[in-house]
Amino acid sequence: MSKRNKLVKFNDLLHADNVYENFNPKSNVLTIAENKELVMKGKWNDLHFKNDQAITLELACGRGEYAIGLAKKHSGRNFIGVDVKGARIWQGSTTAKENNLDNVAFLRTRIEFIDEFFEKNEVEQLWITFADPFVKERKENRRLSALGFLDRYANILKKDGLLNIKTDSPILYYYSLDTLSEHKRFRILYHDADIYRAPFLMDDLEIKTYYEQDHLKKNKTIKFIQAQLID
């Protein structure tokens, strides 16, 4: 992508009314269209969605394909895609607007700070779809199912809330099974090392991101874990 195209997209984000950006990691203040600053923690339904529908997050959402796919399937729920890459967020935001999806928003920040922007019990489900597996062991604490991240998710999920992990990576799959089994506040409900060998557990697994389609063309197996927050 050219530098000019990136600048155009970043400028678009500054005017988008469905994208919230965090420019200061030491603060939970978010910026939306026309530099309006807001603290959204505990207020997403009141200030943005204007309803009391359940909230689902897609973490490291990339282009927001899963959040958008879920929003199309579930008009009675709210979805927020979270990623740090502005160009990816731009794509998701633009697609949501083109499809008139008012139940999707986007948050540009690092996942390490996720519990700064959501209150306890504010989120019903989390999706992690084809996240970077960080295959080198010295980087395993950066995997989105590392214990430190699970602690953050536990801080924002409702009791009995769900964490869904979809991946092509055996490393991330088995690592996630280990960390979820170790974590005292999560219980694994279901896991499958090859979801295409049998009927899907649920319709939401039918959604295919760009990466999943590419993985399937390369005959990679797609794996899935669903865990529940217990208290």
At residue 172, the 3 state secondary structure works out as helix
Which position has the token pair 């697609």? 95
Q: What is the C-alpha separation between 10 and 194, in angstroms, rounded?
A: 38
Distance between CA 220 and CA 160 in Å, rounded? 31
DSSP assignment of 33-63 = GGGEEEE-TTTIIIIII-S---EEEEET-TT
Q: Pull the structure tokens for residue 78.
A: 């709210």
Query: Which residue in 12, 83, 102, 132 is the catalytic one?
Result: 132
- Is 132 in the active site? yes
CA-to-CA distance for 39 and 59, rounded, in angstroms?
A: 20
SS3 143: coil
Catalytically active residues, by annotation: 132
